[in-house]
Amino acid sequence: MSENIVGPGARSPHAGGGTLRHHAYESLKGMILSSAFHPGERLSEVRLSQMIGVSRTPLREALMLLEAEGLVIGRPNSGYCVVHFDPEAIRALLVAREGLDGYVAEVACRTATDEDLARVTAVMAEIDELDRRRDGRTLETARELELGLRIHEVIAAATRNPALQDMTRRLYERLRVALWLEVLLLDSWDDAVRQHRAIVEAVVARDVPRAVEAARAHVRDSLSNMAGVERLYRERRQRFKLPLRPPERAKP
Amino acid sequence: MSENIVGPGARSPHAGGGTLRHHAYESLKGMILSSAFHPGERLSEVRLSQMIGVSRTPLREALMLLEAEGLVIGRPNSGYCVVHFDPEAIRALLVAREGLDGYVAEVACRTATDEDLARVTAVMAEIDELDRRRDGRTLETARELELGLRIHEVIAAATRNPALQDMTRRLYERLRVALWLEVLLLDSWDDAVRQHRAIVEAVVARDVPRAVEAARAHVRDSLSNMAGVERLYRERRQRFKLPLRPPERAKP
DNA sequence: GTGTTCATTATTGTATGCAATGATGCATGT
DNA sequence: ACATGCATCATTGCATACAATAATGAACAC
């Protein structure tokens, strides 16, 4: 559950598991990605340090790491807040993702070992398996999201390129909330399965043009879904009476 | 001179100019990018804090930011060291750059405003200007590098996509030392001018396929140069009696 | 009623002290 | 001579205390 995308192989910053900074980092990231805070909510250092049970020093360091990853934003002398669901920013991230995923697929076609492809196939099999069981209408949104990320993770790993893996990992982490909303609010699972299968088949066949196009089409679909996600999200937010961009302070 | 790639518009982490952390961050980054330390050199927190004139706390935070950007690496309870010039890692970064630059060119063709294109043209004019003056064999390596980065910066800005700008900025920062060695050790200026012109013309003409191919070819050229850079670098390092990978400690 | 000013308060930024962990060198035994 | 174990030392990780800055609210003038 605490697995990152592109789990082992792409070290998270100062990966040491024993340190309190690492603990604070993981805890906070988990809270944020599981929507424990309202979007845009202000993050008080003392409150968080008490919640997590560490001093302010490691907590501040964790906050800075998370800012570097784009999950929180902070202005000097003004503290940090959770990123809000900003449709425009999400669209920009998705546009970037279209290029990155396409290129990752392209490189993976060329550099993947047979083991890499086997791993990709294995994850795809898990997706199919979930798809079969799902006919009974069992709600497994969390597992859907997890597998949807995993398939991209193993494809990125198949590039054997740490830089590409890193960029992929960062991008998906920033998109995670939005993707979560997508699978939660929209029922895009069937399409997702089809598209993932198309990507996997093309990569396994080492068919570069087809893989690139499949990967890009997948993201474009996600992009066109975002309009609907935004609408549903706006409704939900209104129900909870959350302001649009809560802490947006005056800018000089 | 303290201008980042993708200067204003892409905030550096916790961009506040007044804080000591920011000062420490900028100072350290400057030192590293100007090769003030040997590659792989160990960075003692107390020594650095005395050099820069701040306490350990903001310095530690600056180090963590730099780690997140890939300029230093740190292992828990063991401190930080400057990244060493690792040809394999550089190649991986350049492979990633090929995809990113190609995609940036593609998006820029579609989304650039006329002002954006004017800025691109302006920087290209500066390059041409430098090229003309340079016939007199005046050595202006620093300016060459600066303009070489700037042209990519303004093209990235022309995408109007913060995510792509951010990824570009990060990638070029990590590559900066390698690119510096490239223009310093090899005399690749003439080729670079030609390639930059090809990219600019294609982007200004909004010719997507040509722009993508030009951008990619430029990076591929850089990639094939790296072999030579590595050889020359190895010689230089040997002259200074620097070990290959200084602080590589045993891994369990 | 609205806008402005100032004092209060809360929160962040920085410095320092202590504890814990890893590195270093020497002595010792084989 | 080489390896092993131990003691010492340096350095990092963390917590806390203090200073500086920004947010908050009340009082006041218009």
Which pLDDT belongs to residue A17? 64
Comparing alpha-carbon positions, the chain A residue that sits nearest to B59 is A61
Q: Read off the pLDDT of each residue in A178-190 and give the average, rounded to a whole number.
A: 83
Give yes or no for CB of B54 within 7 Å of strand C.
Answer: yes
Structure tokens at B225: 């140069």
Which pLDDT belongs to residue A249? 36
Start and end residues for every CATH 1.10.10.10 domain found in chain A: 20-82
CA B126 to mean position of chain CA atoms: 19
Q: Read off the pLDDT of each residue in B131-159 and give the average, rounded to a whole number.
A: 83
For domain B20-82, give the fold.
Arc Repressor Mutant, subunit A (1.10.10)
- A88: number of Cβ within 10 Å: 9
Residue A89 burial by CB count (10 A; 0-12/13-18/19+): exposed, middle or buried? middle
Residue B134: pLDDT band with limits 50, 70, 90: confident
Structure tokens at B163: 């995510």
Residue A193: pLDDT band with limits 50, 70, 90: very high
B56, closest nucleotide (Cα–C1'): C15
Q: Read off the pLDDT of each residue in B99-109 and give the average, rounded to a whole number.
A: 98
Residue B180: pLDDT band with limits 50, 70, 90: confident
Which pLDDT belongs to residue B6? 29
Which pLDDT belongs to residue B23? 93
Q: Read off the pLDDT of each residue in B172-188 and give the average, rounded to a whole number.
A: 85
Q: Which residue did the predictor score with more confidence, A106 or B227? A: A106
- B230: number of Cβ within 10 Å: 19
**Are A22 and B74 within 8 A, CB to CB?**
no
Q: Which residue did the predictor score with more confidence, A238 or B40? A: B40
Does the structure show a pLDDT above 70 at B240? no
For domain A87-239, give the fold.
Four Helix Bundle (Hemerythrin (Met), subunit A) (1.20.120)
Which pLDDT belongs to residue A110? 97
Which pLDDT belongs to residue A181? 81
Using one digit for the tens of pLDDT, what is the confidence trace for A231-243?
Answer: 887 877 665 544 4
Does the structure show a pLDDT above 60 at A245? no
Q: Which nucleotides of D are covered by protein (CB under 7 A)?
A: 11-17, 21-23
Distance CA B205, CA A238 (A): 45
Beta strands in A46-87 (DSSP E): 72-75, 79-82
B209–A contact, CB cutoff 8 A: no
Distance CA A66, CA A59 (A): 11
Q: Read off the pLDDT of each residue in A42-51 and give the average, rounded to a whole number.
A: 93
The β-bridge relationship of strands A72-75 and A42-43 is unpaired
Which pLDDT belongs to residue B245? 41
Contact indicator for B199, B214 with CB cutoff of 8 Å: yes
Start and end residues for every CATH 1.20.120.530 domain found in chain A: 87-239
Please give the mean pLDDT across all residues of chain B. Answer: 84
Which pLDDT belongs to residue B137? 53
Q: A87 Cβ partners below 8 Å, 6+ apart?
A: A226, A230
- What percent of chain A clears pLDDT 70, i.e. is strictly above it? 84
Largest separation between any pair of C-alpha atoms in chain B? 56
Which residue among A65, A92, A104 sits closest to B64, beta carbon to beta carbon?
A: A65
Does the structure show a pLDDT above 70 at B237? no
In whole angstroms, C30 C1' to B205 CA is: 79
CA end-to-end span of chain A? 42
Does the structure show a pLDDT above 90 at B121? yes
CA B23 to mean position of chain CA atoms: 20
Comparing alpha-carbon positions, the chain A residue that sits nearest to B71 is A13
Q: B84 Cβ partners below 8 Å, 6+ apart?
A: B39, B40, B245, B246
Which pLDDT belongs to residue B136? 55
Does the structure show a pLDDT above 60 at A27? yes
In whole angstroms, C21 C1' to A19 CA is: 11
C-alpha separations of A138 from A125, A181, A236 in Å? 19, 18, 23
Q: Read off the pLDDT of each residue in A120-125 and give the average, rounded to a whole number.
A: 97
Please give the mean pLDDT across all residues of chain A. Answer: 84
Report residue A95: phi and psi, to 5°.
-60, -45
**Are B96 and A18 within 8 A, CB to CB?**
no
| Chain position carrying tokens 């991008």 | A171
Which residue among A68, A76, A164 sits closest to B68, beta carbon to beta carbon?
A: A68
Lowest-confidence range among B25-39, B74-88, B116-130, B135-149? B135-149
Q: Read off the pLDDT of each residue in B11-25 and give the average, rounded to a whole number.
A: 70
Q: Read off the pLDDT of each residue in B16-44 and give the average, rounded to a whole number.
A: 86
